[in-house]
């Protein structure tokens, strides 16, 4: 019994002896400085390697409608039931989206051309020069995205014109559900990856050949 009590005293003493150490340990751990230490390698801050940016808001309707076109091609009957439309209407929807897809392209060459023009005519050097090229790419790319978003609003209007009011309500519910899913799906955007200096430098080295070493 005495041995048992003595053991409890020892254990209790150890616990209380450790308690004052906990605040010191936590206080000495500076998370902000640790993050910077992890980011640094051989004295250089490492840029994150981004595989591809996710879809921008301007790209979501296009992605959803192209997905709908694929669903119609794969399972027209199931899609008819889901949207509550006839087979004739589903055919018209398919043709409308298909025509839009064949008309619209990403115009990636124009984006790359703007990037390389900025790179080749830049008065900056090193990362500032790369950043100027990245900014030119993003500006031209955003112009394309805005155009695509406006165009697909017209495509939606065309589809809605084929539907009765009750069918439009069901179609809108479908679109809103798919927009939410697409926005969180991790689907990738089109085009080159130019999200930071590291990825922008890689894109410039790949695409821009003139005066690369200036």
Judge if pTM exceeds 0.85. no
Distance CA 162, CA 86 (A): 11
pLDDT of residue 33: 52
Sign for the CA dihedral angle at 7, 12, 14, 17 comes to negative
CA-to-CA separations, 6 to 2, 3, 10, 13, in angstroms, rounded: 6, 5, 6, 10
Cα separation, 73 vs 92, in Å, equals: 12
Specify the range with the lowest mean pLDDT, choosing from 26-35, 93-102, 145-154.
26-35
How is the chain split into domains, by residue range?
Answer: 2-41, 50-207
Tens-place pLDDT, residues 71-113: 999 999 999 999 999 999 999 999 999 999 888 777 888 999 9
pLDDT band at 209 (very low <50, low <70, confident <90, very high): low
| Burial (Cβ within 10 Å: 0-12, 13-18, ≥19) of residue 136 | buried
Q: What is the dihedral of CA 98, 100, 103, 107, to 10 degrees?
A: -110
pLDDT at 212: 47
**SS3 labels along the chain:** CHHHHHHHHHHHHHHHHHCCHHHHHHHHCCHHHHHHHHHEECCEECCCCCCCCECCHHHHHHHHHHHHHHHHHHCHHHHHHHHCCCHHHHHHHHHHHHHHHHHCCCCHHHHHHHHHHHHHHCCCCHHHHHHHHHHHHHHHHHHHHHHHHHHHHHHHHHHHHCCCHHHHHHHHHHHHHHHHHHHCCCCECCCCCCCCHHHHHHHHHHHCCCCCCC
């Amino acid at each position: 019994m005495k041995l048992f009590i003595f053991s409890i005293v020892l254990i209790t003493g150890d616990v209380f002896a450790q308690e004052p150490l906990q605040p010191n340990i936590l206080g000495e751990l500076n998370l902000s400085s640790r993050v910077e230490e992890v980011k640094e390698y051989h004295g250089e801050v490492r840029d994150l390697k981004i595989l591809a940016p996710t879809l921008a808001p301007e790209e979501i309707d296009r992605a959803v409608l192209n997905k709908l076109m694929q669903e119609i091609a794969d399972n027209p009957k199931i899609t008819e039931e889901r949207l509550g439309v006839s087979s004739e209407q589903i055919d018209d929807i398919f043709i409308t989206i298909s025509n839009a897809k064949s008309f619209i392209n990403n115009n990636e060459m124009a984006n790359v051309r703007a990037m390389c023009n900025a790179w080749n005519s830049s008065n900056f050097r090193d990362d500032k020069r790369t950043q100027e090229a990245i900014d030119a790419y993003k500006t031209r790319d955003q112009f394309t995205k805005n155009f695509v978003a406006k165009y697909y609003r017209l495509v939606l209007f065309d589809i809605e014109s084929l539907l009765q009011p009750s069918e439009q309500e069901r179609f809108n519910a479908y679109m809103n559900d798919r927009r939410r899913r697409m926005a969180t799906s991790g689907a990738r955007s089109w085009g080159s990856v130019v999200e930071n200096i590291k990825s922008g430098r890689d894109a410039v080295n790949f695409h821009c050949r003139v005066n690369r070493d200036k």
